[in-house]
Amino acid sequence: MATSMNIPPLSFITSSFLCVLLFGARGLCEPVPGMYVFGDSLVDVGNNNYLPLSLAKANLPHNGVDFPTGKATGRFSNGRNAADFLAEKVGLPSAPPFLSLVSRFKKLSSSNATVTGVSFASGGAGILDGTDELYRQSIPLTKQVGYYSLVHEQLVQQLDSDEAQAHLSKSLFVVVIGSNDLFNYFNKNSKASKEYTPQQFVDLMVSTLKGLLKRLYELGAHKFVISGVGVIGCCPVQRKHSATGDCNEEINTWSMKYNDGLKSLLQEFMTESSDIHYSYCETYDVMNNLIQHPETYEFTEIKEACCGRGTLKAEFPCTPISTYCSNRKNHLFWDLYHPTEHTSSLFADSIYSGPQQTTFPMNVEQLVNV
């Protein structure tokens, strides 16, 4: 008597064979063929190293002390950041910094690296132009999207228009940005606070971001991974202003209000175009949970930075003259602004496979299969 076997249909075998035959070497048959990252220092993998005037660089020790090479790479971390962990989870290499692919003549190289992804993220960057006034030079989101248009043009040339569209429709477009806009607004010397009320400012952030997301959609993006702003009033540089190390609740309040506007934007965005899918991570709640229940995640220090100098090690950034903690896994923060590698791995876990309470309408694991 014949027994049934789990043999895939011939059409599947044929299409899979053709896909591998045509594109296998370039990874276009993978569930996630590419990951394109936009954002700030939370996901910067070294773009700022190529900006001669930038004050926001992490290209010196003790940054990178736990990176596989043991060296500083431009990541604002003791090791890898959330973008690195997310790439690993979807089976891709970490996306290279865009500026590493650009020649001194400002021409994009013909490297195949753009197929599996590129990072445009830049420390100090904001949604709004001019947010980097504290750091002198960064790549604002408007310019990051402009750089992506060059990558899109190259992909069309490499793969042809239809193949490029198929590739990009399955790729992930990761956007982690907004903290610097709020930091800049609430800075005592802020120009923006003289021009806008806090509500007007977060509304401007949201409307500007919507226009840039639409532009990415026009350039082939269909699957978005969007992170809300975290509990940024609780980072060491904000806590140091309180004698008891308390959080800055004003900036936390407006972080939540921005996140509310962002969630409304994404719902509108999806209804306007039926082929758009997204995963939104409520980073605020994820981060707040780490702060409220540190013992669950083996944290013993949630206020003081691991690397720095002065009060809460937040008076000075992480540089060779700073001191750093011996156990990075028990610290929530690496430096005055940024999470440790361990914290970033927990964020990536939430983004990839978190429950619907914090990652909705689906997590990245589900988004991949849409």
- Which of 40, 41, 179, 345 is catalytic? The answer is 41
Burial of 82 (0-12, 13-18, 19+ CB in 10 A): buried
In one-letter notation, the amino acid at residue 17 is: F
For this structure, is 285 an active site residue?
A: no
Q: How many CA atoms lie within 13 A of 5 on its CB side?
A: 5
How far apart are alpha carbons 5 and 10 in whole angstroms? Answer: 14
- Which of 338, 342, 345, 350 is catalytic? The answer is 338
CB burial readout 138-168, b (16+ within 10 A) else e: bbbbbebbebbebbbebbbeebeeebbbebb
For this structure, is 335 an active site residue?
A: yes
**97: which strand partners?**
119
- Which of 40, 84, 132, 335 is catalytic? The answer is 335
For this structure, is 44 an active site residue?
A: no
Q: Which tokens hold the place of 57?
A: 């660089």
Helix axes 341-353, 82-89, angle to 10 degrees: 40
**Catalytic machinery residues:** 41, 335, 338
